[in-house]
Amino acid sequence: MNTARTQLALVVILLTVAGLGLTLYKHMTLGFPLLPGRHSPVWTLEAQINFDAEDGPAQAILTLPAAQDGAIVLDEFFSSPGYGINVKKQGSQRQAVWSIRQAEERQTLFYRIQLRLEPEHLTKAADEPASDKPDTPVLTEPYSTAAKTLLATIREKSSDNESFTGTLLQELNSVDPDQNTNMLLGNLTSRNDKVQLILDLLHQEGIHARMVRGLQLEDGRRKQPIVDMVEIWNGWHWILFNPDTAASGAPDNFFLWQRGGKSLLDVMGGSHSRVEFSMISQPIPTKQLALEEAASGISMVDFSIYSLPLEEQNAFKTILLVPIGILVVLVMRVLVGLRTSGTFMPVLIAVAFLQTRWLPGLVIFITVVTVGLWLRFILSRLNMLLVARLGSVVIMVVGIMVTMSILSWKLGITQALTVTFFPMIILAWTIERMSILWEEEGPRDVFIEGFGSLLVASLSYLLMTNRHVEYLTFNFPELLMLVLAATLLLGQYTGYRLLELKRFRSLIGKPLQHPAEY
């Protein structure tokens, strides 16, 4: 026993030293800040191009982000097995051309760029319109008349180019547009067409306008589409407008990808092409990291999380938070003495809360489990084998999820749609466990366990959404060793739990009464 204790102590010390050592090394030598938000962030943006090749030569042309002030490109990376890559300049814009002689079936190409963004990175465009007046587009009847009437109405309600554009966009987005607007909008099939219509109308009015594409930067987002915006010339400078909300000015965290109307992606020799973006923010550029590590002779970065594709990196942001939840469960069970339903079920609930947000998640979870329990009671009157019964509970959970989504959608409560983030099997097991508990121990125990589980899940969620915790777990995964050390130590704790201090309080200081003194 004593040797086991010594071994454990040794392992704990080793883990602590290694975890802290690596963290400090990364901080002091490689310059990783220990706290989030102390430096301007480094964004890694990844475009993923997919298309179905037509069994012949194929070419894909992607417009690359324009050079701009306040956005320093640190690294650029193209990935595409078997393709030749060529970057060419097209005006102020660059384009990447992937070509291959023979391609068939689904093709996937990657473009990754790493940038440091200064807070004021989105500066106004410096160029001026090439001509005094934009070319007037030719509209066919009856759209031409409709457009002229609409423009005349807007003109009356506005004073300059800026207010004209704002009013026009509001009219196009209004819930109850007038007849002319309806006719113009009725002709559209896609969002792209709408932006084109806006540009046509503005040009008709003699206002310089162009399309601008960009990304709404948000850490950890995957499969994001590009956002189309409209930029107009007010006589002195260019102003951005959001075509869907009519808001002017650049939104926060907007990264400008492309100016002008050229298409973002052109694919020849393929169909069903699409481009999606992933983004992630890091405290330090991986290239810089690699260079400094290379200088010191060891390369850890090649084997770090940063070397993974962005989608996987984003997945790890969540996965690395799980040990924090585990630690919360351990503390609450071993030190406090709370009862939970299923050992680590609260962690999985907390992970689902990350997607649903806390309050909607809580409401959804309680609703599904309550309805499930009720249905399960009906089921328990039938005499069934365990596997069949569990199977029916899973099917019922699926049913509840579908019903809940449809009902809430009809009622306009969109939060309830996030019910899909709860793992079905966990919900089913919770219902099964709770109903057995109800039958064997009574409703009181069900409430105690349910309350314990949700309390632990909520505490885990609170910790997992903490900015510092999130930052440290992802950028210093070696801190996992400290979590493991703490877990090993807790596994040896033989002292009282907090709730035992309450439970056994009648055992102290009371001399035992002799039966005669009853």
Partner 1 sequence: MPVNLFKWFARPHALLDAGVLSMNRRNLCYVSRYNKRSLLPLVDDKLSTKRLAEKAGVAVPKLLGVIQYQHDVQQLHKLLDHLSEFVIKPANGSGGKGILVITGRDGSDFVKGSGEKLGFADVKRHVTNTLGGLYSLGGKTDVALIESLIRADPVFERYSHEGVPDIRTIVFKGYPVMAMLRLATKASDGKANLHQGAVGVGLDMASGQSLRAVQFDQPVTHHPDTMQDFSALSVPHWKQLLTLTARCYEMTGLGYLGVDMVLDQNEGPLILELNARPGLAIQIANGSGLRSRLEMIETLKSGDNAVSERVTYAMTHFSHF
Phi, psi values for residue 243, rounded to 5°: -65, -15
Count of other CB atoms within 10 angstroms of residue 388: 11
- Shortest distance, position 380 Cβ to partner 1, whole Å: 9
Q: What distance in Å separates the CA atoms of residue 208 and residue 234, rounded to the nearest whole number?
A: 8
- Shortest distance, position 507 Cβ to partner 1, whole Å: 5
| Residue-wise burial string across 346-357, b where 16 or more C-beta atoms lie within 10 A, e elsewhere | bbbbbbbbbebe
Q: In the complex with partner 1, which residue's Cβ is closer, 447 or 493?
A: 493
CA distances from 432 to 23, 223, 379, 393 (A): 43, 36, 11, 7
Q: In the complex with partner 1, which residue's Cβ is closer, 102 or 492?
A: 492
Asked if 431 and 424 touch (Cβ cutoff 8 Å), the reply is no
Asked if 265 and 275 touch (Cβ cutoff 8 Å), the reply is yes
Q: Is the dihedral of CA 352, 355, 359, 360 positive or negative?
A: negative
The closest of 448, 212, 226 to 338, measured between CA atoms, is 448
State whether residue 91 is helix, strand or coil.
Answer: coil
Enclosing H/E stretch for 146: helix 143-156
List contacts with partner 1 (CB under 8 A). 334, 337, 383-386, 389, 436, 439-442, 492-498, 500-510, 512-516, 518
- Shortest distance, position 450 Cβ to partner 1, whole Å: 17
Q: In the complex with partner 1, which residue's Cβ is closer, 190 or 383?
A: 383
Q: In the complex with partner 1, which residue's Cβ is closer, 193 or 441?
A: 441
- Shortest distance, position 459 Cβ to partner 1, whole Å: 20
Q: In the complex with partner 1, which residue's Cβ is closer, 399 or 442?
A: 442
- Shortest distance, position 384 Cβ to partner 1, whole Å: 8
Q: In the complex with partner 1, which residue's Cβ is closer, 377 or 496?
A: 496
State whether residue 142 is helix, strand or coil.
Answer: coil
Asked if 87 and 95 touch (Cβ cutoff 8 Å), the reply is yes
Q: What distance in Å separates the CA atoms of residue 319 and residue 18, rounded to the nearest whole number?
A: 21
- Shortest distance, position 334 Cβ to partner 1, whole Å: 6
Contact residues for 383 (Cβ-Cβ < 8 A; gap 6+): none
- Shortest distance, position 325 Cβ to partner 1, whole Å: 21
Burial of 428 (0-12, 13-18, 19+ CB in 10 A): buried
Q: In the complex with partner 1, which residue's Cβ is closer, 271 or 383?
A: 383
Q: In the complex with partner 1, which residue's Cβ is closer, 272 or 514?
A: 514
Q: In the complex with partner 1, which residue's Cβ is closer, 175 or 385?
A: 385
Q: In the complex with partner 1, which residue's Cβ is closer, 13 or 436?
A: 436
**Alpha-helical segments (H) within 381-466:** 386-411, 424-441, 443-464
- Shortest distance, position 2 Cβ to partner 1, whole Å: 13
- Shortest distance, position 336 Cβ to partner 1, whole Å: 12
Residues in the chain: 518
Count of other CB atoms within 10 angstroms of residue 13: 11
Write out the two tokens for 496.
């009282």
- Shortest distance, position 449 Cβ to partner 1, whole Å: 13
